[in-house]
Amino acid sequence: MEIGKIICCGKNHPDERWRCDDIIGINRLYYIHRGKGGCRHNGKNYPFRPGKLYLIPYTRDFKPYTNPEEPLLHTFADFELMPPVLTGAILSADPTTDSMASAALAVFDTAAAEKRVNPLCIAAIVHLVGYLVERNGALTLQDPVVLQALQTIHARLQEPLRVEELAQACYMNKDSFIRRFARVVGITPYAYLKNLRLHTARSLRAEGLSLAEIARRTGYSDASALLHALKKSPSAVAEGANGSQ
């Protein structure tokens, strides 16, 4: 298991405007220090408990909230993960029951508070993700064909990559490849690639890069095509698993 990229990392009190609608394809690691809050899913509230560590996989519909009278204080990291955790559930555990997890959490918390994403911080996050996966019996991707396809997508994001090319690289015909990918990951390879491009583009835009440079790095033909994609999918809704593009 590896962290493909840390998108952001910190320690703060989120306010009432706390939203994650525009962040796609991203896994979230939260440690709750104190306060009240949680997330909403299918009309129900899922409360976060102080002292608990949470992993919200990218496949999870996530709409967080905090109580303005007792706001959450949390240490957090948003990151790409390879191989992905294949569950729509929120994973949680108490790291104080495991000395190694507790030590990793201390490193992660210190780095996040100082906003220092260094190799030690990344190693701590990797350990904590593995701890949560093991404690919750969650699955990580084991299919070698799909794993190869995902690694290719992440490595060649700057290219105008097509699903046909991914299928050929995996020595499969297009339709069989799409069905296999969707069965394992939950969405089509086209949807995954589109979401990753949009997320990466938003992240680079927040860093102040020009549209032309962002387009070059994310596989869009030009700045105009990038801008059109951003406007067309403001919340980057993933395409269904039955799509065939």
238 occurs within a structural domain: no
- Of the candidates 136, 165, 200, which is a domain's last residue? 136
pLDDT of residue 86: 75
Q: Based on the fold, state whether residues 85 and 41 are members of the same structural domain.
A: yes
Residue type, 150: L
Q: What are the beta bridge partners of residue 12?
A: 74
Rounded Cα distance between 124 and 209, Å, is 29
pLDDT-above-90 percentage for the chain: 42
User: How many structural domains compose the chain?
Assistant: 2
Q: For residue 41, what are the domain limits?
A: 2-136
Q: Please, where are the H alpha helices in the chain?
A: 99-113, 119-136, 144-155, 163-169, 174-185, 189-206, 211-218, 223-232
Q: Based on the fold, state whether residues 9 and 128 are members of the same structural domain.
A: yes
Rounded Cα distance between 156 and 60, Å, is 25
Nearest to 92 by CA among 29, 141, 162, 40: 29
Question: What is the distance in angstroms between the CA of the first residue and the CA of the last residue of the chain?
Answer: 28
244 occurs within a structural domain: no
Cβ pair 85, 43 in contact under 8 A:
no
Q: Based on the fold, state whether residues 8 and 91 are members of the same structural domain.
A: yes
Q: Based on the fold, state whether residues 62 and 122 are members of the same structural domain.
A: yes
Kindly report the CATH number assigned to the domain that includes residue 43.
Answer: 2.60.120.280
Q: Based on the fold, state whether residues 34 and 129 are members of the same structural domain.
A: yes
239 occurs within a structural domain: no
Q: Based on the fold, state whether residues 69 and 186 are members of the same structural domain.
A: no
- The mean of the pLDDT values for the chain is 85
Q: Based on the fold, state whether residues 8 and 55 are members of the same structural domain.
A: yes
241 occurs within a structural domain: no
pLDDT of residue 22: 54
Task: Please tell me the total number of residues recorded for the chain in this structure.
Answer: 245
Is the pTM higher than 0.75? The answer reads no
- Of the candidates 136, 162, 185, which is a domain's last residue? 136
CB atoms within 10 A of CB 224: 12
Q: Based on the fold, state whether residues 81 and 103 are members of the same structural domain.
A: yes
What confidence tens digit (pLDDT) does each residue in 114-150 have? 988 899 999 999 999 999 999 998 877 778 898 888 8
pLDDT of residue 235: 46
What confidence tens digit (pLDDT) does each residue in 35-90 have? 999 988 777 888 999 999 999 987 777 789 999 999 999 999 998 887 778 777 89
Q: Based on the fold, state whether residues 171 and 125 are members of the same structural domain.
A: no
Q: Based on the fold, state whether residues 172 and 221 are members of the same structural domain.
A: yes
240 occurs within a structural domain: no
201 confidence band (pLDDT: 50, 70, 90):
confident
Q: Based on the fold, state whether residues 112 and 169 are members of the same structural domain.
A: no
**pLDDT exceeds 50 at position 240:** no
Rounded Cα distance between 221 and 204, Å, is 16
Q: State the average pLDDT over residues 15-26.
A: 69
245 occurs within a structural domain: no
154 occurs within a structural domain: yes
Q: How many CA atoms lie within 13 A of 49 on its CB side?
A: 9
Q: Based on the fold, state whether residues 116 and 186 are members of the same structural domain.
A: no
